[in-house]
Amino acid sequence: MRKLSIAFMSGCLFLAIAVAVLFWMQREVLEQPLQVDGEYLLNVPAGSTPNGLLLQLQQQGVLHGAFWLRLSWRLQGHVQPLHTGEYQLSPAMNVAQLLEKWRVGDILQYRVTLVEGWNFKQVRTALAQQEKLQHTLGEVSDSELMRQLDQANVHPEGRFFPDTYNFIRGQTDLDILRQANQRLQKVLAEEWTQRADDLPYRNPDEALVMASIIEKETGVAHERDEIAGVFIRRLGLGMLLQTDPTVIYGMGERYRGKITRADLRQPTPYNTYVIAGLPPTPIAMVGREAIHAALHPKAGKSLYFVARGDGSHVFSNTLAEHNKAVREYQLKRRADYRSSPAPVTAQ
């Protein structure tokens, strides 16, 4: 009996020592600072496991004790796969903080901004310049791209919502476009259900076309509904819209910064000096404000407007008033004339 008691006590002592050593080793390896010079980006591809990453980091000399760290990770009951992406490490961090980043999925995020008024070519260029995106659309045509978004036979122009989109390394350019397309559909549907009465649009797509014209005609917020009112009254009277941004869009690569009289006479599907009604597709990306204006035009009698040269416009009810405004603001242009508002300077 005495021998059994001594053996039992010895076993308990051994177990206590083993547990103490285990906790001591865990504490040591968890509190060790990461051996990195400056900021360090750890890329975690899809399917990565803590075991593999800890061994990789040990081989790179970033940490030691990978075996004990793997054991600690298991003892804490973490069973979910690691979040894919990049984790930002620094010399001020220890291993415990690294494991916490893995646990909560504290992934480094990047941003890409799609701007109101951009055309689809500009959108594709902006995405192609994002080094952290996975590029899948380099040789894909616009029509095939839209098919991949389940928008077969839909023209891509104006079908993406301008906003800032967050992404992580490993996401694709198509992922961003899918988000932007779904957001546009959602905003357009919301605004369409709250539209004013007696509008000339047969469907939301026509309202989107009008919104794109408004977006390109002015960046002055308080003018959007007034410009919408002008265009809707012109449609109601059977007048041509005669808006330069549609002409420019129809010219495509031929546009070199100036529209000539010959350009205004040149038939294209988008030349609203020639075609009646709206062009066949939007001509740019639009924000919610332009969509709202297209669906809530300002009441009034104005049928014309001309740029002042500071980004705003003069509105006229009659052709005589309009011609007078043209002589004042177009034929005698100020030295700092601009058809769009001056850019905002960062403070």
Asked if the structure places residue 211 within a domain, the reply is yes
Percent of the chain scoring above 70 in pLDDT: 86
Q: Which pLDDT does position 152 carry in this prediction?
A: 94
| 53 and 92 inside one domain | yes
Report how far residue 201's alpha carbon sits from residue 183's, in angstroms, rounded to the nearest whole number.
21
Report how far residue 248's alpha carbon sits from residue 312's, in angstroms, rounded to the nearest whole number.
20
Is the separation of the CB atoms in 168 and 107 below 8 Å? yes
Report how far residue 288's alpha carbon sits from residue 290's, in angstroms, rounded to the nearest whole number.
6
Burial class (CB in 10 A: 0-12, 13-18, 19+), 233: middle
Asked if the structure places residue 210 within a domain, the reply is yes
| 155 and 88 inside one domain | no
Asked if the structure places residue 8 within a domain, the reply is no
Q: Which pLDDT does position 82 carry in this prediction?
A: 82
Which range of 13-22, 184-193, 301-310 scores highest in mean pLDDT? It is: 184-193
- Dihedral angle, C-alpha 283, 289, 294, 297, nearest 10 °: -140
Which range of 62-71, 226-235, 253-262, 302-311 scores highest in mean pLDDT? It is: 226-235
Pick 344 or 341 by higher pLDDT: 341
| pLDDT over threshold 90, residue 117 | yes
Q: Which pLDDT does position 309 carry in this prediction?
A: 79
| 63 and 159 inside one domain | no
- Taking residue 306's Cβ as centre, other Cβ atoms within 10 Å add up to 20
Asked if the structure places residue 338 within a domain, the reply is no
Q: How many domains does one find in the chain?
A: 3
| pLDDT over threshold 70, residue 19 | no
Structure confidence at residue 160 as a pLDDT band (50, 70, 90): very high
Which of 104, 121, 143 delimits the end of a domain? Answer: 104
| 320 and 222 inside one domain | yes
Structure confidence at residue 15 as a pLDDT band (50, 70, 90): very low
Q: In CATH, what number is assigned to the domain containing residue 54?
A: 3.30.1490
Q: Which pLDDT does position 47 carry in this prediction?
A: 82
| 224 and 320 inside one domain | yes
| 151 and 92 inside one domain | no
Asked if the structure places residue 265 within a domain, the reply is yes
Single pTM value for the model: 0.81
290-343 pLDDT per residue, tens: 999 999 999 999 999 998 877 789 999 999 999 898 888 876 654 444 444 443
Asked if the structure places residue 320 within a domain, the reply is yes
Asked if the structure places residue 17 within a domain, the reply is no
Asked if the structure places residue 22 within a domain, the reply is no
Report how far residue 133's alpha carbon sits from residue 206's, in angstroms, rounded to the nearest whole number.
33
- Structural domain for 157, as ranges: 110-187
- List the end-to-end C-alpha distance of the chain, in Å, as a whole number: 85
pLDDT averaged over the chain? 86
| 267 and 295 inside one domain | yes
| 213 and 158 inside one domain | no
56-105 pLDDT per residue, tens: 999 998 888 888 888 877 777 666 778 888 999 988 889 888 888 888 88
Q: Which pLDDT does position 75 carry in this prediction?
A: 75
Report how far residue 339's alpha carbon sits from residue 272's, in angstroms, rounded to the nearest whole number.
19
Q: Which pLDDT does position 292 carry in this prediction?
A: 97
| 183 and 229 inside one domain | no
Q: Which pLDDT does position 346 carry in this prediction?
A: 32
| 129 and 207 inside one domain | no
| pLDDT over threshold 50, residue 344 | no
| 123 and 94 inside one domain | no
| 178 and 238 inside one domain | no
Which of 74, 104, 134 delimits the end of a domain? Answer: 104
